[in-house]
């Protein structure tokens, strides 16, 4: 008979490698030793930032197909669906944050590292379209390794076409708040992630265009630990602010309040 | 097959963007610097006449000699390069000048400085501005063009490619490493001029025969003259329609 604890009771913190009991991670999934955050599923993120039971998912009847017949892509998609319980790497819908209605989009790294493909791109364009139509602010939680290689140039062309949708949305004069969460990289970083009225990051987030390993290989210099970290980007003037997870809902609520149209009386 | 093509377009004998400028543009006047950080030699920007039409040129340089390679960073445009392009394009809009991009760039500048200076923001801003332009813009792929940087220069009304040129989400080597295959990745992912012409990304393949320069000049002129017939306010729509048509062929399972 085994005296080992049930599987999942303890996990190793991916940052400081100390074993942490599941109860110690708490609601915000923060390591009690090094204070880093675990990556969240889309559902966990929604639970943390929106008013209770206010999220109404916008279901889009789309399925990602391996149209270019890239080896192993079907397999990867099937595994990603299993792991995440989602049909793609992004969930969108309407929600209330501190009693204010928004169009919310949340990316999930459990689905192929939140990579941008035709389906994810289409979902984001739909989000901007719906937000413009209903005159709602946009709140985007971004988490992505970049463009999804398996869809080649079709993934790349999401970068410019999403920005076209964003420009149409901007005509509605609603505020857009982009929250960069771990990781925000590559083609996502270099397109819609950095195009918002507010671009903030969750603390301890890795943000960049080229990957750290790629840069290390090429530059041969040892990169400092804080390189591509949210606070480091803020110091370089690239982010409006860096926010702790527990402060996120309050921060977004405040920005939304500051952009409410004055009621005519 | 792809390997040979890569050798060809990366060789020092490949025609350079600056050679194209000197042979088809008259009165070329270079514009230096982003007025913030510096002047990125990897991208030459300026104005000149194509036939009798004043145009704005954004030309990425790869370099032919060791010294040039170093100076041009192998065509890896840095942040100040995208910023320089952005300001030159804004001026093009003011003076109603068509914009021509000449693309020959392997991908992102993987460096500490580019990250610290906001490479993502610079690329995103240029993609966005090119999409919104109310003057015609055209991109000519001279050699290879990969990733977001190449897209920023090719978010255009028309895309033209030299026969051997490539346009891909990432360099073929990077793609192969990520999707872990030893196959020729162009077997799966469209990236050659003929493949991209078939799916509507490449509007015209320019033959690489002994009349190459004439072919380039005639093609650019033809497309500019066509685009000049479109009302300025409709140019962003013409551009987004082009890309939406391509993406509409992708089956979303609906």
The pLDDT value recorded for residue B180 is 80
Q: Where are the domains of chain A?
A: 1-38, 39-258
Query: A39-258, superfamily in CATH?
Result: 2-enoyl-CoA Hydratase; Chain A, domain 1 (3.90.226.10)
Distance from the Cα of B133 to chain A's closest Cα (Å) equals 11
In A55-108, the DSSP E strands lie at: 56-57, 90-97, 100-107
Render A132-185 in DSSP notation, one character per residue: HHTT--EEEEEEE-SB-GGGHHHHHHHHHHHHHHHHHHHTTT--EEEEEEEEEE
A28 exposure class (CB count in 10 Å sphere: 0-12, 13-18, 19+) = middle
Three-state DSSP class for residue A189 = helix
Q: Are B139 and B202 in contact (CB under 8 A)?
A: no
Distance from the Cα of B26 to chain A's closest Cα (Å) equals 32
CA nearest B244: which of A138, A149, A92, A163? A163
What is the spatial distance between Cα A253 and Cα A248, in angstroms, rounded to a whole number?
Answer: 8
- Asked casually if ipTM beats, i.e. exceeds, 0.95, the reply is yes
Residues 6+ apart with CB under 8 A from A55: A46, A93, A94, A95, A104
The DSSP secondary-structure symbol of A116 reads B
The pLDDT value recorded for residue B147 is 96
Distance from the Cα of B194 to chain A's closest Cα (Å) equals 14
**Which residues of B, range 200-229, sit inside 8 Å of A by Cβ?**
201
The pLDDT value recorded for residue B254 is 61
Residues A12-26: pLDDT tens digits?
999 999 999 989 999
Q: Which residues of chain B have pLDDT under 50?
A: none
CATH classification code of B2-245: 3.90.226.10
CA dihedral A36, A99, A258, B124 (to 10 degrees): 50
The pLDDT value recorded for residue B183 is 84
User: How many Å from the N-terminal Cα to the C-terminal Cα in chain B?
Assistant: 36
CB atoms B190 and A207 under 8 Å: no
The pLDDT value recorded for residue B253 is 67
CB atoms A118 and B247 under 8 Å: yes
Three-state DSSP class for residue B144 = strand
What is the spatial distance between Cα A119 and Cα A97, in angstroms, rounded to a whole number?
Answer: 26
- A72: alpha, beta or left? (left if phi > 0; alpha if psi -120 to 50): left
Q: Which residues of chain A have pLDDT under 70?
A: 1-2, 263-265
**Which residues of B, range 79-98, sit inside 8 Å of A by Cβ?**
none
Residues A212-255: pLDDT tens digits?
888 888 777 788 889 999 999 999 999 999 999 999 999 999 99
- B142-172 residues labelled b (16+ CB within 10 A) or e (exposed): bbbbbbbbbbbbbbbbbbbbbbbbbbbbbbb
Q: Please report which helix (H) or strand (E) contains residue A202, including its range.
A: strand A198-202
- A185: alpha, beta or left? (left if phi > 0; alpha if psi -120 to 50): beta
What is the spatial distance between Cα A228 and Cα A40, in angstroms, rounded to a whole number?
Answer: 20
The pLDDT value recorded for residue A48 is 98
CB atoms A163 and B253 under 8 Å: no
CB atoms A210 and B109 under 8 Å: yes
SS3 content of chain A, % helix, strand, coil (to 5): 40, 20, 40
Question: Across the strands, what pairs with A242?
Answer: A201
A19 exposure class (CB count in 10 Å sphere: 0-12, 13-18, 19+) = exposed
Q: Where are the domains of chain B?
A: 2-245
Q: Please report which helix (H) or strand (E) contains residue B198, including its range.
A: helix B193-198
């Amino acid at each position: 008979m085994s005296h080992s604890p049930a599987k999942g009771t303890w996990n190793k913190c991916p940052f400081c490698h100390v074993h942490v009991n599941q109860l110690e991670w708490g609601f915000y999934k923060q390591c009690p030793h090094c204070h880093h955050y675990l990556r969240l599923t889309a559902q966990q993120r929604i639970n943390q930032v929106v008013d209770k039971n206010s999220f109404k998912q916008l279901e889009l009847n789309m399925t990602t197909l391996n149209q270019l017949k890239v080896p192993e892509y079907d397999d990867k998609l099937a595994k990603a669906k299993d792991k995440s319980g989602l049909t793609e790497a992004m969930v969108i819908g309407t929600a209330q944050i501190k009693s204010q209605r928004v169009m919310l989009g949340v990316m999930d790294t459990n689905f192929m590292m939140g990579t941008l493909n035709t389906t994810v791109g289409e979902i984001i364009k739909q989000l901007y379209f719906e937000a413009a139509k209903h005159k709602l602010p946009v709140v985007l939680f971004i988490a992505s390794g970049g463009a999804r290689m398996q869809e080649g140039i079709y993934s790349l062309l999401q970068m410019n076409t999403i920005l076209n949708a964003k420009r149409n949305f901007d005509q509605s004069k609603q505020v857009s708040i982009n929250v960069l969460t771990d990781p925000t990289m590559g083609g996502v970083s270099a397109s819609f992630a950095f195009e918002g009225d507010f671009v903030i990051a969750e603390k301890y987030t890795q943000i960049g265009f080229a990957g750290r390993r790629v840069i290390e290989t090429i530059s041969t210099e040892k990169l400092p630990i804080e390189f591509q970290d949210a606070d480091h980007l803020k110091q370089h003037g690239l982010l409006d602010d860096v926010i702790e997870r527990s402060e996120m809902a309050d921060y977004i609520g405040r920005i939304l309040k500051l952009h409410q149209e004055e009621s005519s009386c | 097959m792809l390997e040979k093509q890569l050798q060809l377009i990366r060789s020092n004998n490949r025609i350079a963007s600056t050679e194209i400028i000197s042979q088809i543009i008259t009165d070329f006047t270079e514009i230096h610097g982003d007025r913030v950080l510096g002047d990125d030699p990897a991208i030459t920007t300026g104005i000149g006449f194509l036939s009798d039409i004043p145009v704005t040129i954004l030309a990425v340089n790869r370099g032919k000699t060791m010294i040039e390679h170093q100076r041009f960073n192998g065509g890896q445009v840095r942040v100040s390069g995208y910023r320089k392009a952005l300001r030159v394009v804004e001026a093009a809009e003011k003076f109603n000048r068509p914009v021509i991009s000449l693309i020959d760039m392997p991908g992102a500048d993987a460096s500490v400085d580019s990250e610290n200076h906001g490479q993502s923001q610079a690329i995103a801003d240029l993609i966005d501005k090119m999409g919104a332009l109310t003057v015609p813009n055209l991109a000519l792929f001279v050699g290879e063009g990969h990733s977001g940087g190449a897209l920023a220069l090719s978010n255009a009304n028309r895309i033209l490619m030299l026969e051997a040129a490539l346009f891909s989400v990432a360099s073929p080597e990077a793609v192969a490493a990520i999707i872990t295959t030893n196959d020729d990745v162009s077997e799966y992912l469209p990236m050659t001029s003929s493949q991209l012409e078939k799916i509507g990304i490449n509007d015209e393949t320019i033959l690489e025969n002994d009349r190459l320069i004439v072919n380039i000049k005639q093609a650019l002129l033809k497309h500019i003259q066509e685009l000049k017939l479109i009302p300025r306010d409709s140019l962003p729509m013409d551009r987004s329609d082009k890309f939406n048509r391509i993406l509409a062929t992708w089956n979303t399972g609906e």
